[in-house]
Structure 1
């Protein structure tokens, strides 16, 4: 994901897995391959996190973006991974919400993958059925 185009960058809150399930701020970067989550720390110059290690939620392992709920100016949503693991997020409702951006990017990724898979199958099918045939034998 290093050279991928950044589609959206900003703050999201992720619910922790612990017993208390606290909401923790994350600096997030959405790219063509997935979502990177960085620790969010307030410093003298604002939010930082670019130097910290990112947790990556790659689209190839994501199943869907689900469970959208609107409460008190916040959007609550869930990213469901291929193995069934659910990761809860919330963000401000203003502007284009993160859940919509992530869902659209996931659809683009899955569509591109389907086109590439279909093209590969089509080309392999053409290669296996067209062997040994010449235009004269048609």
Structure 2
């Protein structure tokens, strides 16, 4: 099954907008660590993994993902690891042509950038308040 990658030039993405959809293989946590095919849907804020048609999706939200590490390239597969904020490592592989690792990495970077921009005005406001003199006639230590 081929992956469908949709890149948008919009700066604002909704959490329901599908960026990529297709098949990805996840290594199981069991003793034998077999590769299991998953149908995946990548959106602006999460990666959904479907095991079957009736089972609910497992979701990896980007706010809980620390990074995506590319582990190895072979002639057939790209092996990569998603590292969560709690340093849990989840191993995946995809075909070289599908570029799932790049799509997930770009979506994660986009999510982190949007979150940083949302936090910036709040940080700037808090910082400007803390730099204000406590007394009306008092000057800042850095002031003239």
Structure-2 separation of matches of 1:94 and 1:125: 47
Unaligned 5+ segments in structure 2 are 1-13, 137-144
Structure 1: 5+ residue stretches without partners = 41-48, 134-138
TM superposition score normalised by structure 1: 0.79
Counterpart-to-counterpart distance in 2, 1:71 and 1:110: 29
Match of 1:8 in 2: 20
CA RMSD of aligned residues (A): 2.2
User: Deviation per CA, 1:113-136, whole angstroms, max 9, x where unpaired?
Assistant: 111111112234456649xx8xxx
Q: 1:67-113 deviations in whole A, cap 9, x for unaligned?
A: 33112311111001110000000111114x10000000000001111
Matched residue SS, 1:84: coil
Provide the TM-score with structure 2 as the length reference: 0.76
2:15 touches 2:45 (CA, 8 Å); kept in 1? no
Q: Which residue of 1 aligns with 2:51?
A: 39
User: Which residue number corresponds to residue 93 of structure 1?
Assistant: 96
Matched, 1:83 2:86: yes
Tell me the residue number matched to 1:117: 119
State the Cα distance separating 1:27 from its structure 2 match. 0.4
